[in-house]
Structure 1
Amino acid sequence: WLPTVTDRIKEKHGWDYYYYGNTSQRRPGWYTFDHRPRFNNNYIGLRNRMAILSEAYAYDTFKDRVMSTLWFVEEILDFARENAESIRDLVREADASVVGMELATRATFERSPSEVEILMGEVAEERHPQTGEIILRRQEVSKPVLMREFGTFSPTEVEVAPAFYYILPEAESAIERLRAHGVETGMAPVGEVQVEHFIVDSATIADRSFQGRNERVVFGAWQSITRALPPGTIAVSVDQPLGRLAFTLLEPRSDDGFANWAILDDQIDEGRYPVMRAH
């Protein structure tokens, strides 16, 4: 999509567009948004579909924000029409099984190998005509600045995607949410099965609440056991189109999974994780 779409806008309208990002004094560089699927674009990608974030520059005039968004959407739709077959092929490939693949449970920003040129602007203070409050207005200034770009991610922890997850019946909140995401579930087999269960040896809890929850990071290790699963245990096959999503939600060390969102706190506080897996 990019840079083809943005190159066309530059040619037609003379405007410069670039990958979403921002700078800060705390950490030099051009940073995109967080990798975690709590951010909508990432979540759609985890469902094997394509998402494009469109965000106009905040300090532009209303007219310029509307026009820049219109041109962007028009070129995206034109590109999708021209490349429809390739897009369908990519989606089919993404829907294929991830069983046995190494997938990230935690990740961080990856620094670009060389500096990139970012066009930086300036703003001026104005009084809002109705409220009298101070607002900022973009000035006709464009300064090219070289800096490192942090627009992609690399894993810091990985796990091999299993064939199945087994969710114990007491983890009702996890089962309900998994189904709400559209992940297909079934009943676990009767009798003894070879599984891995996660032994929680410690956890940290965020001091500050985020969206009404204090996020949790669990620590521990997977151990292999043979056991009979209790009646009502739910089976989740990872060999389905939403296998990546199931992996992210159910892995205990996932930085945006059910454990992180404190959905399984009752079980984790007792030192056990109510989700097992089988390779």
Structure 2
Amino acid sequence: MSTLWFVEEILDFAQENAESIQDLVREADASVVGMELATRATFESSPSEVEILMGEVAEERHPQTGEIILRRQEVSNPVLMHEFGTFSPTEVEVAPAVYYILPDAESAIERLRAHGVETGMAPVGEVQIEQFIVDSTTTADRSFQGRNERVVFGSWRSVTRALPPGTVAVPVDQPLGRLAFTLLEPRSDDGFANWAIFDGQIESGLYPVMRGH
């Protein structure tokens, strides 16, 4: 029942605030090219304490296993505390005009298209780009949702080069440009690098995504 009530509250809120939600969607769809966006963030405390409803549980013994389980009680106790419901950026990058993905990163290209991100083909001939040079990387000891999360360290370097045939271009000036930024930036804490999608390339010292401004 709690899930049903939660969904009903969301739908009621969406109906009551439809116009402001539509404005937020339009704002999120606007171009982010040239804007500073967060790649990594931390929880941010509310400026003052707010009332949080805390429940209670009762210990019971499982009838089949005999183990002690906790059963939620229909109790709500208001408690004043700081809320950590928003994030504050700890690292930022300027969103480029376009990303270029090397053709051997097929898994990332497929995932972008599955998300609805518009893609095209990179131009023929030499182009001025930024290439991320990986100098070190760490991976989590424990898996999370079936993957060992990775953190990549390094720096961007400007180069002029011809991109290999089959390189995919991802324009950032599109409704899902913000999503493309989050997925493709190497330092993003929720991007393809973090979720081990680029492990094969990164372990060989190559980050398979370049930027064009």
| TM-score, reference length from structure 1 | 0.69
How far apart are the structure 2 equivalents of 1:74 and 1:231? 50
* Cα 1:71–1:214 shift into 2, 3 Å: closer
Distance 2:49 2:20 in 1: 31
Q: Does residue 1:95 correspond to 2:15, yes or no?
A: no
1:140, distance to aligned residue in structure 2 (A):
6.1
Stretches of structure 1 lacking an aligned partner (at least 5 in a row): 1-65
Task: Name stretches of at least 5 consecutive residues in structure 2 with no aligned partner.
Answer: none
Between stretches 189-198 and 210-219, larger displacement belongs to 210-219
- The reply on whether 1:194 has 2:135 as its aligned counterpart is no
Would you say 1:167 and 2:118 are equivalent positions? no
Shift of 1:136: 2.6
Aligned residues: 213
CA-to-partner distance for each residue in 1:155-197, whole Å, 9 max, x for gaps? 1111011000001112222212221222111000111111100
SS state at 1:149 partner: coil
Q: Secondary structure at the match of 2:96?
A: coil
> Hey, what's the Cα distance between the residues in 2 that align with 1:205 and 1:69?
35
**Corresponding position of 1:183:** 117
The corresponding residue for 1:256 is 190
- Bigger drift between 247-256 and 137-146 goes to 137-146
Q: Give the letter aligned to residue 175 of structure 1.
A: I
For the pair 1:104 / 2:38, whether they are aligned, the reply is: yes
Question: How high is the sequence identity, in percent, across the aligned residues?
Answer: 89
**Matches of 1:260 and 1:138, distance apart in 2:** 35
Deviation at 1:201, TM superposition (A): 0.5
Output one character per residue of 1:72-105: Cα deviation in whole Å (capped at 9) or x when no partner. 5445434433443333232222211111111111
Amino acid corresponding to residue 110 of structure 2 in structure 1: E
Question: What's 1:124 paired with?
Answer: 58
Letter in 2 for 1:149: E
Matches within 5 A, 1:188-227: 188-227=122-161
* 1:229 CA displacement: 1.1
Question: Structure with the greater relative contact order (CA < 8 A, sep ≥ 6): 1 or 2?
Answer: 2
For 1:98, the aligned partner's letter is: V
1:157/1:135 Cα in 2 relative to 1: closer, same or farther (>3 Å)?
A: same
